[in-house]
Amino acid sequence: MKDSVSLENLTIEDLLSIYPYSVEFFDINGLPIDDVNNTVKDYITSLPYVFLEDMGLNQEDLLKRFRAFMSRMKDIREERTFSIRDITILGGRDKNEKLEEIEVKINIGEIICIVGPTGSGKSRLLADIEWMTQRDTPTKRQILIDGSVPPRNWRFSVEHKLVAQLSQNINFVMDICVGDFIRLHAQSRMIDDIEDKTRQIIFHANELSGERFDLNTPLTSLSGGQSRALMVADTAFLSTSPIVLIDEIENAGIHRKKALELLVGQNKIVLIATHDPLLALMGNKRIVIKNGGIQKVIETTPNEKEGLLRLTEIDNALLKYREALRNGQLLDDIK
């Protein structure tokens, strides 16, 4: 792309055809496009003073805004995939100022569980990662990305959001259908293969939830389980963030194991704060937090993995009871 100063010398027609997203500049600033043969600069200088005054702008500001807009959107388009290989947590100190002598490296594709009593600092650890703390939070921890200190400006950039969140009490609030919703999200990411992505997301979301839904289902009429399933699939395929934080999805009514596989399959790091042994054992490692500090890191042992099979059986049995309950059956004779 040309630098954003020369962009203002393009005609509006050319601008819109080379950078389709530039239409948002006119839209969001309430600028009606009349003559597309005008250059952007001429267009802006032709806007009447009173019109700009109503919006609290002047020509010079608006031109500056145009340049800033174009250069920001270019960054976002180019940073489409914010890919990293690993993150490292360098220990700080716990609530008693005791040194947290530990270094934890987490690779893309890993599922890590965070466990510990209420108030121990699980959420604080997640927040430290999200903020890419450089010893400037109460824990004095430091986060490295791919082994080095991340650029400071990543903290505030919409483009480098390290973390996407999925949690129990999140809902959809937009009043549109599933297909339009996915398209809108894809457009906001400025990706090209929108239709393809939409199909993938719908397919996988249906794999995760029991009841089927399609592109025309209104977003707000999805059940809890369907919503969660769509959120997981959407995050897997459309979120730029390489890390997904999951907060207790045990009762979400979706296939949890498949959900985790889908996310790590799309090269994400998955961090789960949980009290559920079944979920905890799906992880490769678990970080144990106590009194504000990382007490230890436990690698899931082969024995535990075996235990996972037994837990899964118990879980499946419970599931059958739940199903029977839903269907109005008696709960006395279930195999």
Ligand X SMILES: Nc1ncnc2c1ncn2[C@@H]1O[C@H](COP(=O)(O)OP(=O)(O)OP(=O)(O)O)[C@@H](O)[C@H]1O
Among 6, 32, 34, 118, binds ligand X (CB under 6 A): 118
**Comparing C-alpha atoms, which of 116, 161, 85, 107 is closest to residue 270?**
107
CB of 65 to another protein, least distance (A): 6
For residue 75, the minimal CB distance to another protein (Å) is 10
Query: Of residues 11, 58, 123, 157, which one binds Mg ion by CB under 5 A?
Result: 123
Give the DSSP H or E segment for 111.
strand 111-115
Looking at residues 164 to 183 of the shown chain, list those that interact with another protein (rule: CB under 8 A): 164-167, 169-174, 181
94 binds ligand X (CB under 6 A): yes
Q: Which of 30, 147, 151, 265 binds another protein (CB under 8 A)?
A: 30
Least distance to ligand X, CB of residue 270, Å? 17
How many Å apart are CA 145 and CA 66, to the nearest integer?
33
Q: How far apart are CA 163 and CA 320, in angstroms?
A: 35
Distance of closest approach, residue 123 Cβ to Mg ion, in angstroms: 3
State how beta strands 269-273 and 243-247 pair.
parallel
Nearest CB to ligand X, comparing residues 138 and 265: 138
Residue 273 CB, nearest approach to Mg ion (Å)? 6
Beta bridge partners of 61: none
Cβ nearer to Mg ion, comparing 145 with 163: 163
Closest residue to ligand X, judged by C-beta, is 292
Give the residue with the Cβ less far from ligand X, 170 or 318. 170
Please report, for residues 124, 172, 183, 198, 210, the alpha-carbon distance to residue 238 in angstroms, rounded to integers and kept in the order given: 26, 16, 10, 10, 22
CA pseudo-torsion sign 301, 302, 305, 306: negative
Q: Check residue 55 and report its DSSP letter.
A: T
CA torsion sign for 7, 12, 18, 23 is positive
**Which residue, 27 or 78, is less far from another protein as judged by CB?**
27
Which residues make Cβ contacts (< 8 Å) with residue 307, sequence separation at least 6?
281
Residues that bind another protein (CB under 8 A): 24-25, 27-30, 53-57, 65, 68-69, 71-73, 76, 123, 127, 131, 136-138, 155-156, 158, 161, 164-167, 169-174, 181, 184-185, 188-189, 227, 231, 234-235, 238-240
Q: Which residues bind ligand X (CB under 6 A)?
A: 93-95, 116, 118-124, 138-139, 292-293
